Structure 1
Amino acid sequence: METLRQAISAKASGEGFAAMRIVRLSSDPQQALRLQRFIAQGRHGSMAWLADTADRRADPLALWPEAKTAIVMAQNYGQDLDPFERLKDRGSGVISLYALNRDYHDMVKGKLKRIAQWLKHRTRAEVKVFVDTAPVMEKPLAQKAGLGWQGKHTNLVSREIGSWFFLGTIFTEAEIAPDAAEEDRCGTCRACLDVCPTNAFPAPYELDARRCISYLSIEHDGHIDRAFRAAMGNRIYGCDDCLAACPWNKFAQASREARLMAREDLKAPRLADLLVLDDVAFRALFSASPVKRIGRDRFIRNVLIAAGNSGEPKLVPQVAALLEDPAGIVRAMAVWALSRLMGEPAFASLRKERIGSETDANVRREWETA
């Protein structure tokens, strides 16, 4: 007779999940302590929501005291693309592999809801589903469930499917036999730490988000420190370097989920085409994409940094046009990009012409320090 666990596994496989594991929910004082230390050190940067929800994140039972079990599932988003090869064409922008098609949140949540409703009908126990946006520490849960382990880059790694996957979780009041926790298999390897362009890992298993290109280009809505701009290269949304360097990804495969397969127009979009996007065009290009959530101004900020790193003077006209942009953050990065693309005499002349009319303090600072 088929067990409940076998039935759940079959449902997960039928929905296209690459792996499924089960864990008994319980408090974890060590996990709470690690989170408190991370926030106390300010390594969460401007992500105030992490601090605001710290109490609930530290203990899954604080979110739902009646829950007994978590079912953790992995949705593969691997692509037939070499992340490091993409960085070589400085005239194009690099968008993180996970964001090359549709936003995963609604898609994964839809799959989880179907499984959860089936589970509720079978067990008569209440269920809730979570995909990334709720105050759930999904990676520690996944490690306890045996789906993988948190590597030295703090991301989850599976010896079966690598690390190109999203996590989705079903909480239930039903008691289901748990799987064994996974052990750390990083060994002496430090490839993920050494490859980081901005040295965002103060130590193995520790991340300072304030130095992470994914944080800077997606979560951070202000001006990006000069110390990190050159290191960003042509990355315009996220960074895949620490994942791509992991040798366990030799077991990764390309996703078979059509909604996650890379769109041709996003594999290597030309910077020249992206620099001319207004808000309407930006929303049209990234409709249903996770890129859309950062907004046009923050995105163009990133594209301008990539333009400044491109070494392509032919981009000067498109960049110069953005000196008239309504958004100060865009004008400021246009100044920085021009300082890298124009010869010194030409840029000095432009600075003399423009600096007196600039009212935004941050933009003036870029003119003065470029």
Structure 2
Amino acid sequence: MKTPGTTAAAAPEALARALKARAEAEGFSACGICAPDAVPEAADRLSAFLAAGLHGQMAWMAERSHWRGSAAALWPAARSVVMLAETYTPEVDPLEATRRPDRGAISVYARGRDYHDVVKARLKRLGRWLVGETGAEIKVFVDTAPVMEKPLAQAAGLGWQGKHTNLLGRGLGNWFFLGAIFTTLDLPRDAAEASRCGSCRACLDACPTAAFPAPYRLDARRCISYLTIEHDGPVDPDLRARLGNRIYGCDDCLAVCPWNKFAAEAREVKLAARPELDAPRLAELAALDDAGFRALFSGSAVKRIGRNRFVRNVAYAIGNSRDPALLPVAERLARDPDATVAEAGAWATARLRAAAAD
């Protein structure tokens, strides 16, 4: 009978190979291993980002920065970090929806099932296997914990942080989620990946709001993903027109990356786009009340921002549509009980009336 811990103690290299094979069998596209302290510069980079105020309203980043800046501090007992990639590569042009002004453009990752649920379930299955093989302790994380997933994933050899600050890989492209398993096992480390962006600046030039003050540096306060998901209250009027019809997230910098020609095919059907979330009509979205919003986005990552913030985004998209048929919709939103939605509706009304007068 196998004694828990024997496999890990006797053959860590064999265990690492078996772990990666199991990860592939579970559906992950890539797996790599690094030390918890593999990115010592992460804490200083995070501190500089926060000190410059580039995180906007995301106070949680500062509140938990002592853990986010150091994986070793998050769980001192951890000896290894297993980083895993879950691809969600779109089957169609992800920017096609942005060229349909009467429709809403939802980021590709949010058109299917909430990735937190899908990836975490897979991580737990893999983690249970690892515990069963070794008796080791583990903790699993998917995005919601204070973990610097992207630097750790680069240290584990999955890819590198591109000039758009997202992770991309030679065999993955940049359409993938990251998950982490922290473990008390001391596993062999993979070689870190080096940046391969070269002189390319396609992602920087594609950003509608010029959210990159420099390569590898993001000002979240101008990022459309931040503005439509994290930002509470009215969006700066100077940025609203640049949102276009993007009502939840933005894919522009990801979509133009040349490394996507090597993108791995998505393997999880639950992450595929739901037809009703693939370029939905703005007029129908504007009519959602809280119950309707919750019903439409049940099981979706969109649900977490709530009806009011979402419909605020829809109002901005209506104002940018230049579609006179949407004027009555904008006027109705200008009477919405929520003050932020009503202000956005009034802005959209003024934009459409001005467009009609041209």
TM-score range (shorter-chain normalised) is: over 0.9
Q: Structure 1 counterpart of 2:254, which letter?
A: L
TM-score by length of 2: 0.94
* CA-to-aligned-CA distance 1:240-261 (integer Å, 9 cap, x gap): 0111111001111442311100
Summarize the alignment of residues 111-150 of structure 1 with structure 2, pairs less than 5 Å apart.
Answer: 111-150=122-161
Unmatched runs of 5 consecutive residues or more in structure 2: 1-10
Which residue of structure 2 lines up, in the alignment, with residue 356 of structure 1? none
1 CA distance for matches of 2:355 and 2:224? 29
1 CA distance for matches of 2:187 and 2:354? 67
Percent of aligned positions that are identical: 58
* CA-to-aligned-CA distance 1:213-267 (integer Å, 9 cap, x gap): 0000001111100111111001000000111111001111442311100111111
> 1:9–1:36: structure 2 CA closer, same or farther, 3 Å change rule?
same
1 CA distance for matches of 2:250 and 2:98? 10
**Are the equivalent residues in 1 in contact too, given 2:143–2:179 (CA < 8 A)?**
yes
**Are the equivalent residues in 2 in contact too, given 1:308–1:338 (CA < 8 A)?**
yes
TM-score by length of 1: 0.91
Aligned length, in residue pairs = 346
Which residue of structure 2 lines up, in the alignment, with residue 18 of structure 1? 29
Q: Once the 2 structures are TM-superposed, how far is the Cα of residue 187 of structure 1 from its aligned partner? A: 0.5
Which residue of structure 2 lines up, in the alignment, with residue 157 of structure 1? 168
Which residue of structure 1 lines up, in the alignment, with residue 58 of structure 2? 47
**Are the equivalent residues in 1 in contact too, given 2:171–2:264 (CA < 8 A)?**
no
Alignment partner of 1:196 is 2:197? no
* CA-to-aligned-CA distance 1:322-348 (integer Å, 9 cap, x gap): 2221100010000000001124899xx
Of residues 88, 101, 122 in structure 2, which corresponds to 1:77?
Answer: 88
Aligned CA-pair RMSD: 1.5
**Are the equivalent residues in 1 in contact too, given 2:36–2:70 (CA < 8 A)?**
no
> 1:233–1:40: structure 2 CA closer, same or farther, 3 Å change rule?
same
Q: Once the 2 structures are TM-superposed, how far is the Cα of residue 176 of structure 1 from its aligned partner? A: 0.8
Q: Structure 2 counterpart of 1:71, which letter?
A: V
Q: Structure 2 counterpart of 1:250, which letter?
A: K
Q: Structure 1 counterpart of 2:47, which letter?
A: Q
Q: Once the 2 structures are TM-superposed, how far is the Cα of residue 84 of structure 1 from its aligned partner? A: 2.5
**Are the equivalent residues in 2 in contact too, given 1:27–1:61 (CA < 8 A)?**
no
Give the match's secondary structure for 2:95: helix
**Are the equivalent residues in 2 in contact too, given 1:79–1:253 (CA < 8 A)?**
no
2 CA distance for matches of 1:303 and 1:25? 42
Which residue of structure 2 lines up, in the alignment, with residue 354 of structure 1? none
1 CA distance for matches of 2:136 and 2:354? 68
Which residue of structure 2 lines up, in the alignment, with residue 269 of structure 1? 280
1 CA distance for matches of 2:146 and 2:267? 29
Q: Once the 2 structures are TM-superposed, how far is the Cα of residue 272 of structure 1 from its aligned partner? A: 1.1
Q: Structure 2 counterpart of 1:132, which letter?
A: D
Unmatched runs of 5 consecutive residues or more in structure 1: 347-370
